[in-house]
Amino acid sequence: MRHDTNNFGQPVGFAVPDWKPPQIPSGETMEGRYCRLDRLDPDVHAWSLYSANALDVEGKMWTYLSYGPFATFEDYRAWMDSTCRGGDPLFYAIIDKKMNQAVGVAGYKRIDPRNGSIEVGHLAYSRLLQRTPASTEALYLMMEKAFSLGYRRCEWNCNALNAPSRAAAKRLGLSFEGVFRQAAIVKGRNRDTAWYAAIDTEWPALRGAFLRWLSPDNFDEQGKQKLRLSALTDSILRQRD
């Protein structure tokens, strides 16, 4: 870990003399090749998202989230109205450009301009979005926006028992930073939280990996990937769990 040494011979953090806190994300649309991220508007997106989520009849997509599943559209809309209209968390609807339909949700949370830290979370991917190029591109767009604004650190945390989320974090090139034991109580159960992050000095290499993977040339006529994203990001990881 890079550090300086003070006049007492003690290790101290490296100086950041030109640091200026970045702007808070404004909620403007983020445009990609496969998807578009619009600031979530319950009036516009609630029904499309509820319908897409309903394809998960068992409700497995909600297991590790602190909310859901929602028995009725009215319940889902009420949750959106009470939770999704603020600035932190800042929710986005993920619009699949082929279907022109909202098929998932993502958000910024724990937005900390003073220290240059921001977290990507509240990921609720319907079956229409899961395992598609758009599902990866949405997270690329959020990380690209965060680092372009000047954030130094982009975080990801999840229930430590959520193996798919932990695998996704590593695939995206976010390094494992540890587990906070008994960090929360969610839906009446203990939650240990696994932490991952990417920092600004890693982003140029990660950005190149994302762009290479998202290129149309990386997919065959059936849409199957030729090169796995993890093959491009694995060497960038600083620590693996």
Q: With cut-offs at 50, 70 and 90, classify the pLDDT of residue 19.
A: very high
The β-bridge partners of 178 are 195
Q: Which amino acid is at 80?
A: M
Q: Is residue 160 part of a domain?
A: yes
**Dihedral angle at the C-alpha atoms of 72, 74, 78, 81, nearest 10 degrees?**
120
**Average pLDDT estimate for 9-38:** 96
Residue 42 burial (CB count, 10 A): 20
> Residue 24's pLDDT is what?
97
Structural domain containing residue 97 = 26-236
pLDDT over 90, % of the chain? 95
Spatial separation of the C-alpha atoms in residues 84 and 78, rounded to whole Å: 10
Q: With cut-offs at 50, 70 and 90, classify the pLDDT of residue 239.
A: confident
> Residue 241's pLDDT is what?
73
Q: How many domains does the chain have?
A: 1
Cβ-based neighbours of 53, under 8 Å, separated by 6 or more: 61, 69, 70, 76, 124, 126
Q: Is residue 221 part of a domain?
A: yes
pLDDT over 70, % of the chain? 100
Q: Is residue 2 part of a domain?
A: no
Q: With cut-offs at 50, 70 and 90, classify the pLDDT of residue 240.
A: confident
Q: Is residue 81 part of a domain?
A: yes
Contact 20, 129 (CB under 8 A): no
Q: What is the pTM of this model?
A: 0.95
Q: Is residue 14 part of a domain?
A: no
Q: Is residue 5 part of a domain?
A: no
Q: Is residue 12 part of a domain?
A: no
CATH number of the CATH domain containing 93: 3.40.630.30
Contact 101, 92 (CB under 8 A): no
